[in-house]
Amino acid sequence: MLNFSSYSTRMVNTKRGVLECLESTLGADFSKADLLIWHASLGHDFQELVAAASEYAPQARIVATSCCGVVGREGVSESMKDMALMAVEGKEFAIASCDGLSGRNAFEKCTDMARSLQAQDPNINMVYFLGSGIDTANDQCIRAFESVLGEEVTIFGATSSDNMKGVVNYQSVDDKVMEHGAYAVGFSDPTLKMETQATHGFVAVGEPLVVTKAEGHIIREFNGKPAWEEFTRRLGLEPSVNCGDTIPIGALAEKLSPEQAKEYGNDHILRVVTSRDGNDMHYSTEIAEGTPMWLTKRDEPLIFSEMERMVGEIRARMNGRSPVAVFHADCLARGRFLFDRIIKEELVGKMQFPFFENGTCPPWLGMYGFGEFARLGNQNEYHNYTTALYVMYR
C-alpha cells in the first residue's frame, strides 16, 4: 500500500534544499522512501538536485521536472529557487522514460513507455506523466498510453516548463537529466482511486482564426496567411516577439461539444504555442485543417467561480472519503503573470482548503507548467491554461 508525504521550500542552495525536503517528509529515516518526485524552478541545477537526492536516499527511484514555481502544503511560491517533493513509500509503481520526445515521434515514444510500464506491472491503473513542454503532440501521448494500457487508465500530470521563455525545460529520471524527454510513473495500488478535473475561466472573443494549412501538430497558415505573422498581428504584437511574449495573452480556444462544455464550465478548451520555426507554429496537440480558433481573454470572477465549482464536484464524487495525496498542475500564465500575489494566494487557498482534514492540508505536489492532463467527458484529455487537480483517496 502506497503512502505519501510532501514538502516545499525556497532554498538557494540546491543540496540543502534537497536535505530539507527529505527531512520534512521522511524524518530521520530516508530509507523509507521508494520513490521521490521532485519539482524545481530553473534556479536549481538539476544534475546537482538528483545527485543530492541519490546520495541521501540511494535506495529510492528519482524523477524530477523543471517548472515556473511550485504549490505545496506550505502554499505557493514562484521564485527561481523553488523546490517541492512528494515522497512515496511502497512498491506498487513502475517507471518508464524516453529522451528526444517531439511532436513528430510522440506516439511512438509513449507507446514504448507504456509497454515498459505494462511489462513491469500489468496491474497499473493510473499514470503520472510528465513530458517536455516544448514541441510535443500531447494528444498523441495520451493515445499511445491508452493503446497499450486501455482507455480506463487515468493519465494525469503536466508538461515541464521554464520561466515562461519557452527555451529550455528539464525532465530527470534517476541520474539522467533530459531537455526533451519524458517520464511516466504507473501506480498499481488497488486500494487507491483518483478524481481528476480541470478548469480555466477564459472566454473566447472576436472572429476566429481558421487553420488553412497544417501538418500534424504544426500550424503553417491561418486564414491563408503565414501562421505566426497572422497570430501576432491579431494579438497586436510584432512578429519578432518570442513565444514567451504571447503566452499570457495568446491562448487559442477550440470549440467543445455541448456535453463537454457543460462539464468543463466553458464552451472552449484552450491551447498554447510554446515554440515556432519561422512562421510555423508548434501547437500542443495535432490539429486539422479547417479548425476555427478564437483568441481569448481572462475572466477573473469566472476563474474563481469555476475553480470553486470544480473542487465541489471532486469532493462530491469522493463521497466523504479523505484525500491521501493531491497532485496539482497549474498553467504558469495563471500564476504571477496574470495575478498579483494576493489574488494568487487566495486562489490557491480556495482550492486547498476544502481538502483539509482536521485543519491540515493533505500531501500536495503542485507546479506551474506549460500544460495539464486531466479527464474530460470520462476521457483522458490534454489542457492548457487550467488549474488541474488529481486527488488520490481510498
pLDDT, one tens digit per residue, over 276-306 is 999 999 999 999 999 999 999 988 888 889 9
Q: Is the pLDDT of residue 109 over 60?
A: yes
Tens digits of residue pLDDT in 323-365: 999 999 998 766 554 555 556 788 888 899 999 999 999 999 9
d(CA 108, CA 111): 5
Q: 207 and 220 in contact (C-beta within 8 Å)?
A: no
Pairing of strands 35-41, 61-67: parallel
Whether residues 88 and 17 fall in one domain: yes
What percent of the chain stands above pLDDT 90? 83
**Do 314 and 271 lie in a common domain?**
no
Instruction: Report the pLDDT value the prediction gives residue 1, as an integer from 0 to 100.
Output: 95
Residue whose grid cell is 520513490:
35
pLDDT, residue 197, reads 97
In the block, cell 498553467 appears at 331
The reported pLDDT for the residue numbered 225 is 97
- Domain identity same for 33 and 125: yes
Contacts of 245 (CB under 8 A, 6+ apart): 237
What is the predicted pLDDT for the residue at 247? Answer: 83
Q: In whole angstroms, how far apart are CA 351 and each of 84, 268, 311?
A: 18, 22, 6
Please give the pLDDT value at position 343: 65
How does pLDDT run across 249-270, given as a tens digit for each residue? Answer: 899 999 999 999 999 999 999 9
Asked which of 297, 327, 347 is the last residue of a domain, the reply is 297
Q: Say if residue 291 is in the same domain as residue 146.
A: no
Average pLDDT on 99-126 reads 97
- Tell me: do 64 and 101 sit in the same domain: yes
Q: 348 and 287, same structural domain?
A: no
Whether residue 308 is found in the same domain as residue 366: yes
Judged on CB neighbours under 10 Å (0-12, 13-18, 19+), 267 is middle
**Average pLDDT of the chain, as a whole number:** 94
Pair 382, 372: CB distance under 8 Å: yes
Domain boundary among 297, 331, 362: 297
Q: Cβ atoms within 10 A of the Cβ of 257, count?
A: 11
- The answer, as to whether pTM is greater than 0.85, is yes
Together in a domain, 257 and 232: yes
Let me know whether 248 and 344 are in one domain.
Answer: no
Residue 51 CB partners (closer than 8 Å, separation 6+): 175
> 168 falls in which pLDDT band (50, 70, 90)?
confident
Strands 154-159, 225-226: pairing kind: unpaired
- Residue 85: which of 370, 382, 384, 367 has the closest Cα? 367
CA–CA gap between residue 137 and residue 150 (Å, rounded): 19
Q: Are 381 and 287 contained in the same domain? A: no
Instruction: For residue 60, report the phi and psi dihedrals to the nearest 5 degrees.
Output: -90, 145
Q: Does residue 239 register a pLDDT over 80?
A: yes
Query: Could you give the number of structural domains in the chain?
Result: 2
How far CA 375 is from CA of 153, 174, 325, 388, in Å, comes to 10, 29, 18, 9
Cell numbers linked to 143: 493515445
Lowest mean pLDDT among 148-157, 204-213, 333-342: 333-342
The pLDDT, as a whole number, for residue 367 is 94
Q: What is the mean pLDDT of residues 211-229?
A: 97
Share of the chain above pLDDT 70, in %: 97
pLDDT digits (tens, 9 = 90+) for 26-80: 999 999 999 999 999 999 999 999 999 999 999 999 999 999 999 999 999 888 8
pLDDT given for residue 164 in this prediction: 65
User: Which residues pair with residue 392 across a beta bridge?
Assistant: 194, 325
Residue 382's pLDDT band, with cuts at 50, 70 and 90, is very high
From residue 171, how far is each of 40, 346, 365 by CA, in Å?
Answer: 10, 30, 16
| Nearest by Cα to 344 from 310, 309, 384, 387 | 387
Same domain, 21 and 103: yes
For 162, the domain range is 3-198+304-393
Domain boundary among 256, 278, 297: 297
**311 plus 273 within the same structural domain:** no
